[in-house]
Structure 1
């Protein structure tokens, strides 16, 4: 039996505007707080290298959801830390950034340089915004080791590390890695997945990563490719 076609180019879409709920009534909709916006306004000029600005905002979104799922984490630590974690790449020559993070060894010295610089930049920005001195130091410690340190100092540190990695499996993350290393989508997805799934600290992040991997897998599927070619 042939399926019934319900929508045609000549039939207008139903008007459902009056049925859309307010953002406060829908789970998972949020924006930066006023204080986080002040942090972002100072951080974004340090994040223009290799799309780190967009990466940091998507990672913030992941981290924000993780803090909702893991109540023992302190959002006031995790969220400014994720906004600031890659500011230190601004202090590494741009032409060396990809060599620093390339698979197969890269340049661990440059990775450490960006962590140390990022911790310094974070201290300056957070002090200017008015963060408590103890919170500034915890955030700076998290940033100083967010890539090179294989263990988590705390649940806050674990969430920053997890949000940073889970981003790689988002559509933006896979597309970014494709552009960095001149890969096709399937290659980028496999590379990202290999460097994400077995390196996460929290079950909540593993579930998120699995969901994004499901989307990426369908993007690579012959079935979806055939539909795309037909359109």
Structure 2
């Protein structure tokens, strides 16, 4: 569980007045996407895709800051809706699609195809800018299976989706998907992310996340945690 409140105040003084309301890097959910999220969320409950989607959305925001040429009105709804298609795959078959040593490419293609169909309906219901919809759907229909990027927007969606695997939440999730310990999950995620990214910024993010996870597993860090 994420720590939201301090366990104490070692300094002993209130410094909250010095905390800026909107420092660089802090983001909020675009109000224009709230209606999209409300329709997408019930379809994202499979395989913890709802939390995955929100974290990937945050990574996409960060990548957009480095790519002003990319259109957020395409990237953000595409990453929010990219995995709604898993709701159309039988739950007991979902992990077969990406299992190490196995894989079901047919299921990957099914979730992309169904995802584009469901996304089209959600975007129509929310009256999203119709001029953006074709590119959003093209990104969703191929976000996993297509090995090339159609555009910078597609590259950012692909990179945000993959880089999530190396976040603490991503590693936690993969551990439980496949019954791996943290070291095994971190190594599996690393091999499935590094070498498969398009933007330089995502490559740096992924390297930083892998480094932090590696340090967490060092015996020196584990010894400190045990002492606490």
TM-score, normalised by the number of residues in structure 1 = 0.93
Number of equivalenced pairs: 221
CA RMSD of the aligned region, Å?
1.3
User: Does 2:136 align with 1:139?
Assistant: yes
Q: Distance in 2 between matches of 1:72 and 1:53?
A: 28
Structure 2 unaligned segments of length 5 or more: list them: 1-7
User: Does 2:70 align with 1:73?
Assistant: yes
Report the equivalent of 1:156: 153
**Does the 8 Å contact 1:35/1:129 carry over to 2?**
no
TM-score, normalised by the number of residues in structure 2 = 0.94
Q: Distance in 1 between matches of 2:63 and 2:201?
A: 7
Alignment match of 1:64 (pick from 30, 38, 61): 61
Question: Alpha carbons of 1:55 and 1:11: their partners in 2 closer, same or farther (altered >3 Å)?
Answer: closer
Deviations 1:83-134 (A, max 9, x none): 0000000000001001111122410000100000000011011111112223
Question: Alpha carbons of 1:211 and 1:12: their partners in 2 closer, same or farther (altered >3 Å)?
Answer: closer
Q: Distance in 2 between matches of 1:177 and 1:11?
A: 36
Alignment match of 1:217 (pick from 203, 214, 217): 214
Report the equivalent of 1:125: 122
Question: Alpha carbons of 1:132 and 1:21: their partners in 2 closer, same or farther (altered >3 Å)?
Answer: closer
Structure 1 unaligned segments of length 5 or more: list them: 1-8
**Does the 8 Å contact 2:79/2:157 carry over to 1?**
yes
User: Does 2:174 align with 1:172?
Assistant: no
Question: Alpha carbons of 1:148 and 1:11: their partners in 2 closer, same or farther (altered >3 Å)?
Answer: closer
Q: Distance in 1 between matches of 2:13 and 2:222?
A: 29
